[in-house]
Structure 1
Amino acid sequence: MDKDELAGFLRSRRERITPADVGLPAGTRRRTPGLRREEVAQLAFISTEYYTRLEQGRAPWPSREVLAGLTRALRLDDAERDHLHRLAGSPVAERLGPSREVRASVLELIDRVPHAAALVTSATFEVIAWNPLAAALMEDFSALARQERNLARRLFLGPHRHGQRLYGVSDLEEFGRYAAARLRVAVARYPHDPELGRLVAELQQGSEEFARLWELHDVTAQPALVKTFDHRVVGPVTVACDTFDITEQGQQLVLYTAEPGSPDEASLQLLSVIGTQRMDEAR
């Protein structure tokens, strides 16, 4: 393990990410470029003290789980992920399950569409990247534990927010069929992934609706092209829903856009202004 090189690499990756990149407010007292150490630690699900020691070259050998968390928090691409593992003295293992790493070009794309709510989901429906408008329309995903970012789990098992099931969207039945079909495809593609197996078992045991859909063995279903979010602050927002496959990663890019000049577009514009801070106050 090259502690000095690892420390320098982590600092350089942290300093290139802005708070907006990960849906965090910039604030007015930010004295360092990029994210703060405590923010990276939060996103990686490790303690601030341990992350600080990593950047100071004083920490013990990081586990593979810690490296995976840092890869996600620092938005590393495949080459950077491999470099991180080598610096930490950890061999890069063959992937058994769906990738949770989003290409840098895709991350840049969702930041370049400020008038659209944009997010990326993994093959298991975990939200793994999003822009600020998606956080304002749906939820501040950065404040959630990883398990709660899974839209399939949220749909079939909860937890429900403010009495709403999955943000009060209008296409719950369609989305349920779509989720079950995509998960069926994911199981065939990643048959040895234990995390995916546990997710499907959890959904089968906890949701009669999912168990019924799973027994259909469907592997194709169409996502909704238009849906309405029942937002707790601005009310109903109807948007076009465009989904794009990132085939080699098993991921999907989802864009929500409103008709130009419509009240729905005005609602999205209002959400882009008030962001997630006002959303928190409304809870």
Structure 2
Amino acid sequence: MLTALTQALRLETHERDQVFRLAGSAPPLAGRVEMSIRASVLRLLQRLADLPTLVLSAKSDVLAHTPMAGALLSDLNRWPERQRNIIWQRFLGTGRAHVALSPEEDEATAQQAVGSLRTALSRYPHDPSLRSLIDQLLAGSGRFRSMWEEGRSTVRRTMHKTIDHPEFGPLVLDCDTLLLPDTDQSMIVYSAAAGTREASALAMLRDQLHRTDGREPLVR
């Protein structure tokens, strides 16, 4: 609850820690996955409100997203809080219902997902929420377990992703990953080249959102 409150108030790390202490609780421990978002990152997210953009933790929790991301990846708005993790959704949930990848792309992005968790575990070996996530995936997904046991390590790369949107059909979008190294978080941005059908579809999504006045980033 305190984490959600400090995120909503957009506090810097030292301000967040003071709130925890005033409430009689210990601040988040060093060596744990950072789940708070810096105020400066939220300001950047606001500037990117015209694009589908997500902020992910080191273990791929969706910490914040623009309304455009919710409009493009409609499942985001329906995920229960404890399942707001793109890797959990990929292997155990319905979070890939609108992502239509070729078999080669599917294999590559699955390996990236597993490799990113392996990297996170090497950095945060004592984080209980990370170990719980990995245990759930090992127990619930044979594909994840097989990939995990292979022991490969990889990183997210810029790529194209095909989103099968219920209104606009398949949209082939650029998917760029911007790293936030001091918090070990990442920002995922979807975009399209000007003049393409995909750019027109994103423009129509923006118009729909502007009519409902939904421009503020949504914070977990």
Give distance in 1, aligned partners of 2:156 and 2:52: 20
Q: Give 3-state SS (helix, strand or coil) of 2:179's partner.
A: strand
CA root-mean-square deviation: 2.2
- Give the C-alpha shift of residue 250 in structure 1: 1.4
Structure having the higher Rg: 1
Amino acid corresponding to residue 182 of structure 1 in structure 2: S
- Give the C-alpha shift of residue 197 in structure 1: 0.6
Q: Give 3-state SS (helix, strand or coil) of 1:100's partner.
A: coil
Contact 1:174 1:224 (C-alpha < 8 Å) held by counterparts: no
Contact 1:135 1:275 (C-alpha < 8 Å) held by counterparts: no
5 Å-filtered alignment, 1:232-251, equals 232-251=166-185
Amino acid corresponding to residue 139 of structure 2 in structure 1: Q
2:203 is equivalent to residue 272 of structure 1: no
2:158 is equivalent to residue 227 of structure 1: no
1:167 to 74, 98, 110: 98
Structure 1's unaligned 5+ residue stretches are 1-65, 279-283
2:27 to 65, 89, 92: 92
Contact 1:155 1:166 (C-alpha < 8 Å) held by counterparts: no
In 2 relative to 1, CA 240–134 (structure 1 residues): closer, same or farther, beyond 3 Å? same
Give distance in 1, aligned partners of 2:156 and 2:86: 16
TM-score, L = length of structure 2: 0.86
Q: Give 3-state SS (helix, strand or coil) of 2:88's partner.
A: helix
2:41 is equivalent to residue 106 of structure 1: yes
Contact 1:175 1:223 (C-alpha < 8 Å) held by counterparts: no
Q: Which has the higher strand share?
A: 2
Contact 1:136 1:276 (C-alpha < 8 Å) held by counterparts: no
Contact 1:141 1:149 (C-alpha < 8 Å) held by counterparts: yes
Report what 2:216 is aligned to: none
Work out the percentage of aligned pairs sharing the same amino acid: 35
2:58 is equivalent to residue 138 of structure 1: no
Q: Higher relative contact order by CA 8 Å / sep ≥ 6: 1 or 2?
A: 2
- Give the C-alpha shift of residue 208 in structure 1: 1.0
In 2 relative to 1, CA 113–93 (structure 1 residues): closer, same or farther, beyond 3 Å? closer
1:116 to 47, 51, 57: 51
Amino acid corresponding to residue 87 of structure 1 in structure 2: L
Structure 2's unaligned 5+ residue stretches are 213-220
Report what 1:63 is aligned to: none
Q: Give 3-state SS (helix, strand or coil) of 1:271's partner.
A: helix
Task: Decide which moves more: 168-177 or 137-146.
Answer: 137-146
Give distance in 1, aligned partners of 2:183 and 2:23: 25
Give distance in 2, aligned partners of 1:188 and 1:195: 14
2:83 to 145, 148, 152: 148
